[in-house]
Structure 1
Amino acid sequence: MAATADQRFPEPGLELVVSGWAVSSPFGLGRAGFAEGLRSGRRAVAPVDPALWPVPYAEAGLIPGFDIREVLGRKGTRSMDRVTGIAVATVGMLLADYGRSLAADPEATGLVLGTSGSVQSIMDFTRDALTGEKPYLVDPAAFPNTVMNCPTGQSAIRHCLKGPNVTVSGGAATALLALQYAARLLRGGHATALLAGAAEEFSVQRARLERAAEHGGDEPEPLGEGAALFLLEQGAAARAAGREVLATVLGSRFRAFQDPDRAGAALERCVVDLLAGAGVLADDVALVVPGGSPGLLGKQEDAALAGVAGVRRFVRPLLGDATAASAAFQLAAVLAEREDRPELADRLALVTAVDRDGTVGATLLRLN
């Protein structure tokens, strides 16, 4: 989408802000339950019913009672898988709370969603092709679920978002990558507003694969699920529409590592470059929300952040390993903390992520 002559799209260098958010988490659907759960320190990971979830885990962080048809209705949900339902529901909550004025220009509003897709859908479809009487006698309605961008596309179709539609995947750093991608689209003049965030599902096949994966010798954590979406737009546009500026995005940095022993050095370089680019000092940071991985990667992250000031907040022990949605929950925790602590106004918050597949990332926000 090219910028029009009247320059309605943001120009490079303009202030990009978060002016809304929505979350579906093991604390329930909505911001209030999420904020209350964090405030109380309540652990939302709970025993799973083995009759419903025959998985090699005793506990998981499930969205309580989440049923796609009960939340979204029967129309258009017959073949919808869990991650798509979670994404569609969360996008709907965000638009219901903040997006009325966006409906006037749907072609300028888009979605950047981070997700790993649905391994359950992929493996179920493959199984049907291998075990059916004929390989092509599969349910064609189930095929779209096997494509990673299905949650993003279905969310846009259901909620009439006609702007850029992008799917991003990057493990624990997924939401930070999605936010950075959305910022680039806005600065490039491809939209006036973007919903950016990430979603993850709990499933039998994901649980089995995660249990068998390499965890550096550590016992696998309970898995979590959910989504968090953020409304990203130009500050002037948010204020003109009467939306409160919750935070200003000052930037993000990402690096790769091959040896887990080098993860900390890679993340530290990200943080140093990020703070320098924003013209601030490590002592200026008031709030830090790390990924909080267990074992070696967690120790590497702690070492990388040793020189950064600020109160630490951890959400992973409360919600489980949400994989693609991990950093989305961390960003949501920053906004929830700001609501609880007025003294954080005009202070800096840092969110970091370390993924076992070799990606580190950091995002810096100025809270309003």
Structure 2
Amino acid sequence: MQLKRVVVTGMGAITPLGNTLQEFWDGLVNGVSGADFITQFDASKFKTRFACEVKNFDPTSYLDKKEARKIDRFSQFALVVSDQAMADAGLHRDTINADRGGVVFASGIGGINTFQTEVSEYAKGDGTPRFNPFFIPKMILDIAAGQISMRHNLRGPNFAVVSACASSTNSLMEAYNLLRLGKADFILAGGSESVICEAGVGGFNAMKAMSERNDDPKTASRPYDKDRDGFVMGEAAGIVVLETLESALARGARIYCEIAGAGATADAHHITAPHPEGLGARNVMIAALEDAGMKAEDIDYINTHGTSTPLGDGAEVKAITDVFGEHAYNLNISSTKSMTGHCLGAAGVIEAIACIESVVNDVVPPTINHFTDDPDLDPKLNFTFNKAQKRTVNAALSNTFGFGGHNACVIVKKYVA
């Protein structure tokens, strides 16, 4: 069977750097930090009192007020970026072939805000069960995929993907595979996350996973810096419209780039810690390169998982040097989490969008907040510290890894007719 080529024809993004695709990309190339003190709840008694929040987001500016009340914040994000991506791709619900359009959408946690609110309200009462009838439909993480399909009349493949912080990269991979097998003409793939609440921040604090640099939130996310002390929580949503090449050409669509390949592996090591030798990360990059029929030397830029944790950053760098050998020194490497924070289940798609923009614009966004070299990391590697760099980017690779040992990787490349 001849597999179909898959291209990107539309994108949408809401991130801590801005609520549109252009604002997001401008923030990345200008090295803007999205971190600040938490506004969504009183965090004064928490070990971490800052995060990378989405700013100036009023759901009623995009959605009917009654509709907005019925869906969790992560689903509100999802619907807005679906509108952005459909418009960007030149697709409209009244003119598409609804049976050939699908949605594969991810979240690492789903509607934790709704869960916290409903359970807290019950606990305050006398034990009488008084729950909102929308409690379950607001909370479950697959509901965003369902909401997107209903909003845009997409009756093709529709499901959710969850693999912790690798979730939305896995959603891209699943959509890519469905398309190249001919199961649909186009699929909206991506993810959304909004967990900046007492339960989310408190839970990650209890694991000692997050930075506690409350005296300097803007510089707290510092991947590959000697003094990194944990990740900064972020929230975001992103969607990429993936489409078969023949469908895109038939309707005269603008093509951003081509999906070259993808891979998925497991560490099989620990519930939260990465394999110390970066084994799963190494294997997933090899799998993606093999799927793409590419050599290590074909990659110009790697958007790393790079969460700013002491263990994770080092293990991924070791995996990169193992896979790319001498070519590792020709690569640009950067972690855009230094600017967006770690957006959990949405991290993969917004970082894939960063890779797509790099391929389109031949610019590599920086790893900001670098102050002190880590003696355990090879100083000859180009981590693109503090300032974006212009270079030809023919192909870019995006890594995401999740609790449970999940690893996912996607490769994008310039489209050649």
State the shift of 1:263 in Å. Answer: 5.8
1:5 — aligned with what?
none
1:296 corresponds to which letter in structure 2? Answer: L
> Residues 361 and 27 of structure 1: is their aligned pair in 2 closer, same or farther, counting only changes over 3 Å?
same
Structure 1 distance, partners of 2:40, 2:184, is 45
Structure 2 distance, partners of 1:346, 1:220, is 30
How do residues 43-62 of structure 1 correspond to structure 2 at under 5 angstroms?
43-49=33-39, 56=46, 57-62=48-53
Give the 3-state SS of the residue equivalent to 1:231 in structure 2.
strand
2:175 — aligned with what?
182
> Residues 99 and 207 of structure 1: is their aligned pair in 2 closer, same or farther, counting only changes over 3 Å?
farther
Whether the aligned pair in 2 keeps the contact of 1:349 and 1:367 (CA below 8 Å) is no
Whether the aligned pair in 2 keeps the contact of 1:132 and 1:138 (CA below 8 Å) is no
Structure 1, residues 69-101: CA drift from partner, whole Å, max 9, x if none? 233231411222110111111111111222435
Structure 2 distance, partners of 1:71, 1:208, is 30
Structure 1, residues 21-76: CA drift from partner, whole Å, max 9, x if none? 11111111111111111111111112223766667333211111112123323141
2:98 — aligned with what?
106
> Residues 254 and 168 of structure 1: is their aligned pair in 2 closer, same or farther, counting only changes over 3 Å?
same
Within the alignment, does 1:354 sit opposite 2:401 as a pair? Answer: yes
Within the alignment, does 1:80 sit opposite 2:67 as a pair? Answer: no
> Residues 36 and 346 of structure 1: is their aligned pair in 2 closer, same or farther, counting only changes over 3 Å?
closer
Give the 3-state SS of the residue equivalent to 2:134 in structure 1.
helix
Whether the aligned pair in 1 keeps the contact of 2:264 and 2:287 (CA below 8 Å) is no
Instruction: Select 1:229's aligned residue among 239, 242, 245.
Output: 239
> Residues 123 and 305 of structure 1: is their aligned pair in 2 closer, same or farther, counting only changes over 3 Å?
same
1:241 — aligned with what?
251
1:16 — aligned with what?
6
Structure 2 distance, partners of 1:53, 1:161, is 40
Within the alignment, does 1:148 sit opposite 2:141 as a pair? Answer: yes
State the shift of 1:112 in Å. Answer: 0.6
Structure 1 distance, partners of 2:210, 2:193, is 23
Give the 3-state SS of the residue equivalent to 1:94 in structure 2.
helix
> Residues 17 and 54 of structure 1: is their aligned pair in 2 closer, same or farther, counting only changes over 3 Å?
farther
Q: TM-score, normalised by structure 1?
A: 0.89
1:4 — aligned with what?
none
Whether the aligned pair in 2 keeps the contact of 1:55 and 1:208 (CA below 8 Å) is no
2:31 — aligned with what?
41
State the shift of 1:288 in Å. Answer: 0.9
> Residues 239 and 344 of structure 1: is their aligned pair in 2 closer, same or farther, counting only changes over 3 Å?
farther
Structure 2 distance, partners of 1:226, 1:40, is 19
State the shift of 1:12 in Å. Answer: 5.0
Whether the aligned pair in 2 keeps the contact of 1:289 and 1:330 (CA below 8 Å) is yes
1:26 — aligned with what?
16
Give the 3-state SS of the residue equivalent to 2:166 in structure 1.
helix
More helix by share: 1
Structure 1, residues 171-209: CA drift from partner, whole Å, max 9, x if none? 221121001111222234432110001111143121121
> Residues 144 and 53 of structure 1: is their aligned pair in 2 closer, same or farther, counting only changes over 3 Å?
farther
Structure 1, residues 268-314: CA drift from partner, whole Å, max 9, x if none? 12222332343322122111111102211111111111224421122
Q: What is the percentage of aligned positions where both structures have the same residue? A: 21
> Residues 55 and 121 of structure 1: is their aligned pair in 2 closer, same or farther, counting only changes over 3 Å?
farther
> Residues 65 and 53 of structure 1: is their aligned pair in 2 closer, same or farther, counting only changes over 3 Å?
farther
1:269 — aligned with what?
283
1:107 corresponds to which letter in structure 2? Answer: D
Structure 2 distance, partners of 1:231, 1:330, is 15
State the shift of 1:344 in Å. Answer: 7.0
Structure 1 distance, partners of 2:149, 2:45, is 32
Whether the aligned pair in 1 keeps the contact of 2:359 and 2:394 (CA below 8 Å) is no
Give the 3-state SS of the residue equivalent to 2:300 in structure 1.
strand
Whether the aligned pair in 1 keeps the contact of 2:262 and 2:291 (CA below 8 Å) is no
Within the alignment, does 1:199 sit opposite 2:169 as a pair? Answer: no
1:151 corresponds to which letter in structure 2? Answer: A
Instruction: Select 2:316's aligned residue among 301, 306, 327.
Output: 301
Structure 2 distance, partners of 1:345, 1:21, is 22
Whether the aligned pair in 1 keeps the contact of 2:5 and 2:180 (CA below 8 Å) is no
How do residues 128-143 of structure 1 correspond to structure 2 at under 5 angstroms?
128-143=121-136
Q: Root-mean-square deviation (CA), in Å?
A: 2.4
1:120 — aligned with what?
113
Q: TM-score, normalised by structure 2?
A: 0.79
State the shift of 1:355 in Å. Answer: 2.1
Structure 1 distance, partners of 2:183, 2:256, is 23
State the shift of 1:317 in Å. Answer: 0.8
Structure 2 unaligned regions, length at least 5: 212-227, 364-389
Give the 3-state SS of the residue equivalent to 1:100 in structure 2.
coil
> Residues 271 and 194 of structure 1: is their aligned pair in 2 closer, same or farther, counting only changes over 3 Å?
same
Instruction: Select 2:356's aligned residue among 306, 323, 335.
Output: 335
